[in-house]
Structure 1
Amino acid sequence: MRLFLEGALLGLYAALSPGPFQAYLLAQSIRNGAARTLPVALVPLTSDPPVIAVVLAALAQVPAGLLRALQVVGGAIVLWLAVTTLQGALRPEPPEARVPPRGFLRAALLNFTNPNAWIFWSAIGGPALATAWRARPADAFAFLAGFYVLLTTGNASFILLAGGAGRLGPRFQRALALVSGAALLGFGIWQVGKAARGAG
């Protein structure tokens, strides 16, 4: 139970921490509605396992060069999503012209290249998971269960709140889309700039 609660607290922290993934959830909720965006709340279940596997295989140490590469690639992806979000806000399409959303794959790519996920599993989640596994594999599964129950629940709650806010009218919906696009733009510029400073 202790490991489950420990994982749950970390999952809640991850869900509440502002970042490009949360900005993307906001943008998708506003554009496509909460019901169509809810599956994106499960993205960490698909994008995190490779991160965890690499971190544990490397004994919870992620090389600085890999982090810089992820910052560049991830920053470029965030900037691309920012441009598409801002374009959608400035030139909204009529409902009949919209194509089915590809939010899940984009979110998985965004989350996998997010250096914050690699840093978290390298510095906090990975060591805790490895310690729990050495003590008893069931403890490791309890830790992961607590983490992902709170993380996905927090993501889903955020999507529902954002989707509800998006129903306040087209003007408010456009303003929220502009805010989420600007947030993505800021995260992308910061991420690429941080990688450039680290390489200099």
Structure 2
Amino acid sequence: MYEIAEFLVTGILLGFAAGISPGPLMAITISESLQHGSKEGFKVAISPLITDFLIVSAVIYILMHFQQQNSVIALISLAGALYLMHLGIASLKTKNISINVSNLKKESLKKGVLANFLNPHPYLFWIAIGGPILFRAAEVDRLAQIMFVIGFYALLVGSKMVIALFVGKSRDFLKSKYYLHLFRSLGVLYLIFALFFIQQGLELLGLHIWR
């Protein structure tokens, strides 16, 4: 049960980090909340639940062909570490958060679904980060995979809904020092996960330099 809980916590932390990070989906969530109220922001926030089933299924199907090839999975894990390091450094260096808000007609869910399909980040995440985690979880228990996915999407969607709620009530929320400090703190979280991915990649290559 401890290992299953570990995957749940991993999903929660990564989902929260992804949920509050600026990007196309966040921009639309904020835009709709400002223009039409929090309810429309909620519709955008839930769009990953619609789009990501296809994205995750496609990525997992592709990665399954390499599941028994440790060297390939190791390289993917190391690539994931580099991606996480990039996100971490970018978060730590952030001095202000600026998200453009456009005045478009109200089609919140449609906008969210389209933005998520065209956004490269979900694909990069599941190829380089989420996929290897799911394969590692499969070695523990099927429930570990389920708990990781539940934790990830609960916080990915939930954190965006909370932001939509705050933005719908106060336009100054995104300019507050609290949101900026919270976003910067994600940099440390990303870098910690990068270390775990480096360790996993090296172990798959037969290198155990940290032991």
The answer to whether TM tops 0.5 is yes
Structure 1 residue 134, shift from structure 2 partner: 3.9
Structure 1 residue 34, shift from structure 2 partner: 0.7
Structure 1 residue 87, shift from structure 2 partner: 4.9
CA RMSD, 1 decimal: 2.0
Under a length normalisation based on structure 2, what TM-score does the superposition of the two structures give? 0.58
Pair 1:14-2:46 in alignment: no
Structure 1 residue 112, shift from structure 2 partner: 1.3
Q: Is 1:55–1:122's contact at 8 Å kept on the other side of the alignment?
A: yes
In the alignment, what sits opposite 1:127?
132
In the alignment, what sits opposite 1:113?
118
Structure 1 residue 131, shift from structure 2 partner: 2.0
Tell me the SS of whatever aligns to 2:63.
Answer: coil
Pair 1:33-2:37 in alignment: yes
Unaligned ranges ≥5, structure 2: 67-99, 173-211
Pair 1:51-2:51 in alignment: no
Q: Is 2:29–2:42's contact at 8 Å kept on the other side of the alignment?
A: no
Tell me the SS of whatever aligns to 1:58.
Answer: helix
Match of residue 147, structure 1, among 152, 156, 162: 152
Instruction: Return closer, same or farther for 1:144/1:104 CA change in 2, 3 Å cut-off.
Output: same
Q: Partners in 1 of 2:39 and 2:118 — Cα distance?
A: 26
Structure with the higher fraction of residues in helix conformation: 1
Q: Which amino acid aligns with 2:125?
A: F
Q: Partners in 2 of 1:86 and 1:37 — Cα distance?
A: 14
Per-residue CA deviation, residues 10-34 of structure 1 (Å, 9 max, x unaligned), is 0011012111111111111111101
Q: Is 1:11–1:150's contact at 8 Å kept on the other side of the alignment?
A: yes
Structure 1 residue 130, shift from structure 2 partner: 2.3
In the alignment, what sits opposite 2:80?
none
Q: Which amino acid aligns with 2:112?
A: A
Match of residue 159, structure 1, among 152, 161, 164: 164
Percent identity over paired residues:
31
Under a length normalisation based on structure 1, what TM-score does the superposition of the two structures give? 0.62
Higher relative contact order (CA 8 A, sep 6+): 1
Q: Which runs of 4+ in 1 moved over 6 A?
A: none
Tell me the SS of whatever aligns to 2:22.
Answer: coil
Q: Partners in 2 of 1:139 and 1:86 — Cα distance?
A: 40
Tell me the SS of whatever aligns to 1:135.
Answer: coil
Q: Is 1:29–1:162's contact at 8 Å kept on the other side of the alignment?
A: yes
Q: Is 1:33–1:163's contact at 8 Å kept on the other side of the alignment?
A: yes
